Amino acid sequence: MSDVKKVVLAYSGGLDTSVILQWLQDRYRCEVVTFTADIGQGEELEPAREKARKLGVKEIYIDDLREEFVRDFVFPMFRANTVYEGEYLLGTSIARPLVAKRLIEIVNLTGADAISHGATGKGNDQVRFELGAYALKPDVKIIAPWREWDLLSREKLLAYAEKHGIAVEMKHKNGGSPYSMDANLLHISYEGRSLENPAVEAEADMWRWTVAPEQAPDQAEYVTLQFCRGDIVAINDVALGAAQVLAELNRLGGKHGIGRQDLVENRYVGMKSRGCYETPGGTIMLKAHRAIESITLDREVAHLKDELMPRYASLIYNGYWWSPERRMLQTMIDASQSTVNGWVRLKLYKGNVIVSGRDSATDSLFDPAIATFEDDAGAYNQADAGGFIKLHALRLRIAARLKNKLSA
């Protein structure tokens, strides 16, 4: 007899989590509470509610978390210019700590004993969900069906669904297995199918958010972004909330073929995985943020941020958003953003994001009187550079003299 009486399931309404819902009822004889997060995946979520009801669920949570997602997770991550392994903008990774947080909140609201999720035993998401859950509720029970059941293929899942009368929507037009996809306001990802061969180019009709760069408009489009403390607060002088900012940048980026990526990444569990990503708004944000920092951040502060960024990115990728080390780094990063105020003008053209201007009326460290190639009227004494160079060359000169002496 299971000691789990009630479990909160992260539920999308798709094949995997619908089978999991029924499996939990069969295997654990427990009550299931479903939680579906709207983080901007662009799908109608009410069908998930109806499907859960048909499967006997009495407590159903469908929460609009779009603003919280961008404001409290995406924006803080972009203040650090975060990129994993030089390419990945962490669209899936950054959503998981928010889902874990809400799962635990619902556990506390409903008096549930456990949470459950549909992440497989091969991927990163199981780690992200569970590290987040344990960090927020140390004694919570976690049920990960993919690590327990024998339904280890799509065919077995479909057979189970048919046996239990679970409706399944075939999303791939050719009737084959669909891509494994994850979408939110920051990105959409694709894995599986032909992508499992890293030598094969992605199918042209796979991409959903962006036009192909060669099919993008022939006329460039300019956009101006206003920053306050490192976050974008207005687009073309129109003040917007965090979720609105990202949605509009996704629209602009998608229109101009910006933000497509095809990469092989190193999963935390040890394997390499090939995935394709569309992150149009995030690609624009990263370029703009680095541009405004270039005139508002002290050199050593900027360089220290760049040195720490790979560690920060790995913490997010590996599921340590709620860890003390990530929080410590975030405090430092956020402190650095107090002067990151001003505007950046970008040109969007056929997959490219080109900086065409930037300024800060209050915090710019760019001094044209010193940087000029014209007569600076004594603002900078060029003769000082000689001593500067000699001091920095001292150790090199000493080593060279020794080498010459030994070889003589």
Annotate 212-263 with three-state secondary structure.
Answer: CHHHCCCCCEEEEEEEECCEEEEECCEECCHHHHHHHHHHHHHHCCCCEEEE
The mean predicted confidence, pLDDT, of the chain is 95
The answer, yes or no, to whether residue 172 has pLDDT greater than 60, is no
Whether the Cβ atoms of residue 69 and residue 187 lie closer than 8 Å to each other: no
Helices (runs of H) and strands (runs of E) counted in the chain: 13, 14
246-272 pLDDT, tens digit per residue, is 999 999 999 999 999 999 999 999 999
Domains of the chain: 6-73+89-179 (3.40.50.620), 181-359 (3.90.1260.10), 378-407 (no CATH)
Of 284, 276, 210, give the one whose Cα is nearest residue 246: 284
The answer, yes or no, to whether residue 84 has pLDDT greater than 50, is yes
Name the pLDDT band for 173 (thresholds 50, 70, 90): very low
Residues in contact with 182: Cβ distance below 8 Å, sequence separation at least 6, in sequence order:
91, 92, 95, 188, 189
List 113, 125, 182, 231, catalytic entry:
125
The answer, yes or no, to whether residue 1 has pLDDT greater than 50, is no
Residue at 359: amino acid letter? D
Q: What is the DSSP string of 279-322?
A: -HHHHHHHHHHHHHHHHHS-HHHHHHHHHHHHHHHHHHHTT-TT
Q: Please confirm, yes or no, whether 96 is among the known catalytic residues.
A: yes
326-371 pLDDT, tens digit per residue, is 999 999 999 999 999 999 999 999 999 999 999 999 999 999 999 9
Q: What angle do CA 75, 347, 254 make, to 5 degrees?
A: 65
List 16, 113, 182, 231, catalytic entry:
16
Whether the Cβ atoms of residue 261 and residue 207 lie closer than 8 Å to each other: no
In angstroms, the CA 194 to CA 178 distance is: 11
Helix or strand run (H / E) with residue 346: strand 342-349
**Range 46-53 average pLDDT:** 92
Which sign does the torsion angle of CA 403, 404, 407, 408 carry? Answer: negative
Q: What is the CB-side half-sphere exposure of residue 34 using CA atoms within 13 A?
A: 30
In angstroms, the CA 167 to CA 163 distance is: 11
Q: DSSP label at 72?
A: I
List 2, 177, 180, 314, catalytic entry:
180
Residues in contact with 15: Cβ distance below 8 Å, sequence separation at least 6, in sequence order:
154, 157, 158, 161, 168
Q: Please confirm, yes or no, whether 125 is among the known catalytic residues.
A: yes
Which sign does the torsion angle of CA 333, 354, 369, 392 carry? Answer: positive
Of 338, 377, 380, give the one whose Cα is nearest residue 360: 338
Rounded to a whole number of angstroms, the CA Rg of the chain reads 25
pTM surpassing 0.85? Answer: yes
Q: DSSP label at 11?
A: -
The answer, yes or no, to whether residue 401 has pLDDT greater than 90, is yes
Whether the Cβ atoms of residue 121 and residue 146 lie closer than 8 Å to each other: yes
**Range 9-36 average pLDDT:** 95
Name the pLDDT band for 146 (thresholds 50, 70, 90): very high
List 66, 79, 96, 128, catalytic entry:
96
175-226 pLDDT, tens digit per residue, is 555 788 999 999 999 999 899 999 999 999 999 999 999 999 999 999 999 9
| pLDDT score at 168 | 76
